[in-house]
Amino acid sequence: MQEENYYFSKAFKYQNGFLFCENVSVGEIKVWLKNQGIARVTPAFVYSKSQIEENVLSYQNALSALKRNTQLNYALKANFNPSLVRIIKSLGCSLTLVSGFELELSLKLGFQPENIVLNGNGKELWEIELAVRNGCLLNIDGMFNATQTTSVCRKLQKKARILLRINPNIDPMVHKYNSTGIGGSKFGIQKEDLNDVLREIESEPLLQLVGIHCHLGSTITDIGIFRECTEMMSQLFSNLKNEGFEHMKYINLGGGLGIDYTKHIAMTTDPETINGMETKPLVIPTPADVVKVIDEVLGDKDISLILEPGRSLIANAGILLTSVLGVKKSEPKRYIVVDGSMTEVIRPALYSAYHHVDICEPSQVEDAHKMLYDVVGPVCESGDFLGKDRYLTTPHEGCTLAVFDAGAYCSSMGSNYNMRARPAEVLVNGNKLELIRRPDSLDDILGPYNV
């Protein structure tokens, strides 16, 4: 078991062998959920309010020191739970969106539409119309998107403020599914197509070009990639200004700063079996590092900066609690089978991503000791695993396990596959608990169908 006060983030720590979120043990959270009338208390997502606040303020404090207009936009696709988004709004953030329903939620939550950015490489006409009617910033992703926007503006007889999403052809050195700014990507305007899009904009007075945007991808850990991208975007901004696009104001830099998902890998991996896998924490730039390098490149140019991280604002603020169903052997493997699965945390199956997994309480197994296990769920897929080759203390049946760093791209990518109920979500604020999503019922799953 972990040493006392061993921290996963400032919000998650072990005390006397028990995992706490802020001032509440996760065992207490399970009992509290049962007292709320919830029969199936795990799996469940648990979020720390204080960790979200710390993550957002690390960006906001760095941006506030700059001598330029700045805006921090949360990428809503990372996690759209309204209770969490309200916290982020209270800290001065706006939003970057990729769908019409995301925009409708944003308006319901009271975000100022003029600061919202609607992104997306395949917008439907109703989504564009909703954004134009409300005065949002619109990213133009290519020629067909430009002509779509022209047609909507003419229909409404209303001007749209647009940014061009540029494909910078920069390799962010991340998993290929997380790379969005490299040549050949489905995202953004390639260099050879830019002039055609500019001519479309010049020919339509209802399209007002106010800036440029790019999105490199997510899980980025190399500060040099942010510098290279900013240099390219700064030069393009100046070129467009010189070509007569007088309303140019914004550079919108999308792309998620990574978090160190692997910093605790040595705690649950057998050193004799990891085949040289890196166990030292990665050196990841801080939000202040990213803001500083961007500002250095932009220099004294009159440019308003929009920064839109997603993952690093919320990923380490959430965990998935899951309970052990049993332990089994299937030589040469050993498995811990839990009630959580790829329907809650799909990143390991989708990206071969690492999430730290550990037990949340002392094992009740007699003479329990650490062994090498795969942690797997009950979904009928061989790809349904939460962690492979984890060096874990043998847990007892019903023992609680936590999947760490599950705040981003877990709940929002969840599903009802195998007719599994999407789980409860709990917000922890000091010693207070709030149910911010009840688990699905069978009626929730079947409601849209004719049964």
Q: Count the Cβ atoms, other than its own, within 10 Å of residue 234.
A: 18
Q: Count CA atoms closer than 13 A to 17's CA, side-chain side.
A: 7
The DSSP code sequence of 274-317 is STT---SPP----HHHHHHHHHHHHTT---EEEEE--HHHHGGG
- My answer on whether omega of the bond before 348 falls inside 30° of 0, hence cis, is no
Helix 223-242 with 287-298: angle, nearest 10 deg? 30
Cα–Cα–Cα angle for 115, 289, 306, nearest 5°? 15
Cα→Cα distances 256→140, 204, 208, 313, 326, Å: 20, 33, 28, 9, 37
Q: List phi, psi (to 5°) of 401.
A: -115, 150
Report the sign of the C-alpha dihedral through residues 293, 295, 300, 305, in that order.
Answer: positive
Q: Count the Cβ atoms, other than its own, within 10 Å of residue 116.
A: 23
Active-site positions? 380
- The residues, ordered by sequence, that sit 6+ positions from 73 with a Cβ below 8 Å of its Cβ are 93, 94, 95, 96, 115, 116, 117, 252, 306, 307, 308
Task: Give the DSSP H/E element, type plus range, for residue 322.
Answer: strand 318-330
- In 3-state terms, what secondary structure has residue 85? helix
